[in-house]
Chain A
Amino acid sequence: AQSVTQLDSQVPVFEEAPVELRCNYSSSVSVYLFWYVQYPNQGLQLLLKYLSGSTLVESINGFEAEFNKSQTSFHLRKPSVHISDTAEYFCAVILAGAGGGNKLTFGTGTQLKVEL
């Protein structure tokens, strides 16, 4: 069975500092990887995704994540955070080639709190 582990439940960081949110997955087959962000009282928004090709993927608001197959990781990074980045971040996977719908399996989330 596949699973997703987000090692940090909360990450406090000062504004303009770099941040890394960690995500590891376990799966015996290939996976597609996603990061979603959830602002208070809102649904989930896709931040970025890895499907194939370059292992480094970027979002439009400065986040990036690198797929590391050997370490089964997909950590999310941003070189300089802003107050508006305060939110809950979820890592998720879909099994490649699996039947039964393209279900997302989510981690438990990491609360990023950016402080002045």
Chain B
Amino acid sequence: ETGVTQSPTHLIKTRGQQVTLRCSSQSGHNTVSWYQQALGQGPQFIFQYYREEENGRGNFPPRFSGLQFPNYSSELNVNALELDDSALYLCASSSVGTMDTQYFGPGTRLTVL
């Protein structure tokens, strides 16, 4: 059974640029959630996708957007990067349902200069 994978591992961008992060969900999972973890903080919920539709969003501006594909993999896109976007971005997959465990990938470390 393949776990959750994310790419790239690390990324360096400059302010104003755009970035795309990718996530492959665990086999059998149809829901993907994205979290932002700033240094020294707990992860914060960005949004969740279920069957290619956004299914909940946290307190993040519209320049954070996402996609889910038919194979349940997902992308997180961030436009007009700001310095405060520097963080570890975590993807988690699960089956639909509140009680289903979310399994996290290793994350993508984004640095904005």
Contact = CB atoms under 8 A, between A and B. Distances in A.
Contacts of A49: 101
A90 B56 contact: no
Given A43-B106, A101-B48, A106 B43 contact: yes
Interface string B39-65: 011111101101000011110000000
A94 B98 contact: yes
Interface residues of B, number: 31
Interface residues of A, number: 28
Contact of A108 (B31, B41, B90, B105): B41
Contacts of A44: 43, 90, 92, 104
Given A43-B4, A44-B43, A102 B106 contact: no
Given A43-B90, A90-B42, A96-B98, A101 B104 contact: no
Contacts of B57: 100-101
